[in-house]
Amino acid sequence: MDLLIATTNAGKLAEIAAALKDFPVRILSLRDFPDAPKVIEDGATYEENALKKARTLAAFSGVPALADDSGLEVDALGGVPGIYSARYSGEDADDARNNRKLLDQLAGLPEARRGARFVCVLALSAPQAERLFRAECPGRIGFEPRGANGFGYDPLFFYPPLGRTFGELEREAKSRVSHRGLALQKLRAALPMLPVFAKRP
């Protein structure tokens, strides 16, 4: 069974592919569909954006599609950047510029006021099987980037139970506790219930 992972983010693709390695699916990416339409993420919620991507790309490709929308919500900023996390520093944003802007916005704030959470919503669009899986991971924003692993805001996101940032965690350790890892655990639990994805004997 083919499954299209509707992302151009290599880090997300690797995390999702690793989580689904035990299932009888062949992972496809948008590189396998160079003519795929670019989906404008104009929804008001993670759920709306993820569903729009999954539905659009499943219809285009003819195979089930899994889409992700995720973001970082910072308490001191009223939940910003939220659904705009990827383009926080502008339409031409990249990870480094987004991280610099976030640090600038929080400059002078003590550790106690730097609470944040990562949020992930996965949307699966398949024949007779449309599902949403949401998960959150609480933490706080550090004072400087730490670690070269992960992507996005990972080097700034400090996870107190492990005493490290997501940028300092290896992928396997991160996948056990992260927002995307927890959402993928919910997806893994649901897949055997869907005939199209049921494990073969």
Give catalytic residues, as residue numbers. 69
**158 close to 174: Cβ distance less than 8 angstroms:** no
Query: How many angstroms separate the CA atoms of 196 and 201, rounded?
Result: 14
Please tell me the distance from the alpha carbon of residue 89 to that of residue 104, in angstroms, as a whole number: 11
Measured CA to CA, the distance from residue 44 to residue 62 in angstroms comes to 27
What helix, strand, coil percent values describe the chain, rounded to 5? 40, 25, 35
Sign (positive/negative) of CA torsion 79, 85, 101, 108? Answer: positive
- Work out the number of other CB atoms within 10 angstroms of the CB of residue 160: 9
Quick check: helix, strand or coil at residue 159? strand
d(CA 51, CA 190): 17
Residue for token pair 């730097």: 114
Q: Please tell me the distance from the alpha carbon of residue 14 to that of residue 168, in angstroms, as a whole number.
A: 17
